[in-house]
Structure 1
Amino acid sequence: MAAGSDRNKRRLLVYISGHGYGHVAQIAPVLNQLAQDQPHLALVVCSAVGESFLRSRIHVPFIYEPRRADFGMLMQSALEVDVAASVAAYLDFHADWDAKVEDEAAWISAQHADAVLSNVAYLPLAAASALGLPALSMCSLNWADILRHYAADPALDHVQQQMRHAYASARGFLRIEPSMEMPWLDCHAVGPVADMAQENRAVILQAIGLQHGSEHKLVLVGMGGISTQVSPANFPVLPGVHWLLPQAWMQGAERADFHAQEPLQMHFSTLLASSDLVLTKPGYGTFVEAACHGVPVLYVPRDGWPEQDCLISWLRVNGLCLHVDAGRLASGDFAGSLLEMLNAPKPQRVAPRGNREAAGWIARRLGLAS
């Protein structure tokens, strides 16, 4: 139980998946708005994501509980799903499903929670249902549909039944734009959600030894929080183009146009808002933040990840994007695509109207509105 001023507040238990950083990027702006609208709420964030990263995105007070309630899909890299390992993990996870629900319900009860919000673990929803607590999901996907896409195996039928029953036990599913179709769920649609950042371009240029001026182009590179090692050695060398890379990718590479992100000590959103282009994989957080900041996107498709089609279609309409396949990324044969994006007119910014829409619906649906 929280101490001091939190004792009389309603406690909302928020589960955030640790499958990449996109789930944090989705829910953090909504929590920031929710806490502003409902100051009587005390937030308890349960996640396998590290506390420092969570606090860099969630700007309102919260209690941190390191807890892993889902694993999504097991990955070989940010671009490749390990299907066999994922199937085995789900079969193991559901082997003692009733006991897992009972244990999670006991833990939730011990937190004195008034409601549960999940992005997008289903175990807490089943546990909340067992306790009679109001619960909601919010996300651009759900793990039942993702698993079925990769493995429509009859051996998983009981797993799918338990997953879908858990999702359906909640008071609703907040489907944020853009997202997969989920017709079997009780969905409520809201607009895009994104963390808006102030650009800090002049400071970045100074930090990497460049004079502030329009002749410099900054290309931000990131694959969304799942460990991926890409060698940038063959990335094209172009006049005025400078790469902001994850430090681990540089591996001692010494090029005047390569700069590590970490020494800049800026949030990824600030780097994105300050850049001329972002090179990434299809993922909700980076795609939507790029559209909301008017930054073009060069993307490397994933290996059939089912969510990517709706993200790409949405960004083509609401922003500016172009794809580069993994082979061209490795060979460095994408200078033409890079220059096409850098020389194109900047796209119009998209308003993250879902931040406020989602916060209002959550408060009303969970009975937490002041």
Structure 2
Amino acid sequence: MAESTGMLVAYVTGHGYGHLVRLGEVLREVRARAPGLPMTLVGDVTEPLVRTLVPGPLALRRVACDAGLVQRDALQVDEAASLRRCRELDATFEARCAVETGFLRSVGARAVLADVPPLPFAAAARAGVPSLALANFSWDWIYRHLAAREPAFAASAALAASAYREAGLLLALPFAGDLSAFPRRVEVGLVARHPRVPREEVRRRAGLDGRPAVLVSFGGLGVPRLSREVLARDAEFQWLLPEDATTARLTALGLIYPDLVAAADVVVSKPGYGIVSDAVAAGARLVYTERGDFPEYPVLVRDMPRWLGCVHVSNADLFAGRLSEPVRRALSLPRPPPADTGGAARAAEQVLAALG
């Protein structure tokens, strides 16, 4: 494809790794098709992780784009702190929008891609730049849900919906919640990372023997109450905990996180788009636990079984280390046929079309 002049500016929410890694997959595909296209990533994210996701030159601009939700840990939302954060950022929305509008104009932005803070869509509309959203849920939907218990969230929901209505096109992903705020949408399918090292080689590098391997994965926040000492009581399985899957350790082994997911026989986690899509692409089974009153949870629980083998474990059993029985049940499930995971390529084509 001929190179486009101008720049692609991508924005990412600060809420969890899943949004960043799937946005990174789309940017990888864009880079493969337009190697010389300048790109900037805007978000409150760490540079080392970004560099593992997107090859080649990529400018990084550290900006808190949205409030998201404040988490106590991987399974608990701090609603009071989340509301305070929403109020703080909502109060400065217009000023921050003016800054982003100026930034887009100053760098010659040709398109904006965001997953999925509201701010960049309002800024892109004011700058006259086409914008695309990448999402399976939107913050207006999340805040409306919370407003049933805390009505003050309704103002944040309304502000987010107003910004989303300025988006040019939504690239809709599976496991979708209410995305009705976006005026136009196209389904792109599952955006997922794939392992890059063969499974047996990963197991060798990671020091795994012939026993089934169980990867306990709860993102960067983790679940401090779950310890290796508790899990090691059952020697039938090999337990891989978050300290076994740090970016530094995986880099030292020449691996990326999806390699470890593929090497595991079962993943234990909360259901979120990132880990579910990793497990689908790797052909792993999932033992999942509830994650509080988060409206994405029932959508994932409803839709996951057609994508991968999955078994529920309660928070109480998880924290007590009673995982062996649900792991055995998960191992007994057949693997679904390989899924279509070409969403990143389809999303990249839409982005390049917007770039002209």
Of 85, 93, 98 in structure 2, the residue corresponding to residue 97 of structure 1 is: 93
Report the Cα offset of residue 228 of structure 1. Answer: 3.5
Partner of 1:307: 296
Query: Structure 1: which 5+ runs fail to align?
Result: 1-6, 250-259
Q: 1:1-370 alignment to 2 at 5 Å?
A: 9-152=5-148, 153-186=150-183, 187-207=185-205, 209-211=207-209, 215-232=210-227, 233-235=229-231, 237-247=233-243, 264=253, 266-364=255-353, 366=354, 368-369=355-356
TM-score (structure 2 length as normaliser): 0.89
Name the CA distance, whole Å, in 2 between partners of 1:144 and 1:287: 23
Report the Cα offset of residue 109 of structure 1. Answer: 2.6
What CA deviation, in whole Å up to 9, does each residue of 1:97-131 have, x standing for no partner? Answer: 32222122223333332221111111121111122
What CA deviation, in whole Å up to 9, does each residue of 1:5-43 have, x standing for no partner? Answer: xx9733000011221100012212211112222335221
Distance 1:276 1:127, change over 3 A: same
TM-score (structure 1 length as normaliser): 0.86
CA contact (8 A) 2:114 2:133 kept: yes
Query: Structure 2: which 5+ runs fail to align?
Result: none
Please give the secondary structure, in 2, of the residue aligned with 1:13: strand
Please give the secondary structure, in 2, of the residue aligned with 1:76: strand
What CA deviation, in whole Å up to 9, does each residue of 1:195-230 have, x standing for no partner? Answer: 11134444444445555xxx3211111112335423
Report runs of 4+ in structure 1 exceeding 4 Å deviation.
Answer: 207-211, 260-265
Report the Cα offset of residue 49 of structure 1. Answer: 1.5
User: Which amino acid in the other structure matches residue 224 of structure 2?
Assistant: Q
CA contact (8 A) 2:10 2:40 kept: yes
User: Which amino acid in the other structure matches residue 223 of structure 1?
Assistant: F
Q: State the number of aligned residues.
A: 349
Report the Cα offset of residue 83 of structure 1. Answer: 0.9
Let me know the Cα RMSD of the aligned residues.
2.5
Name the CA distance, whole Å, in 1 between partners of 2:310 and 2:232: 19
Identity of matched residues, %:
28
Report the Cα offset of residue 345 of structure 1. Answer: 3.2
What CA deviation, in whole Å up to 9, does each residue of 1:147-181 have, x standing for no partner? Answer: 11112455444433321111111102221112213
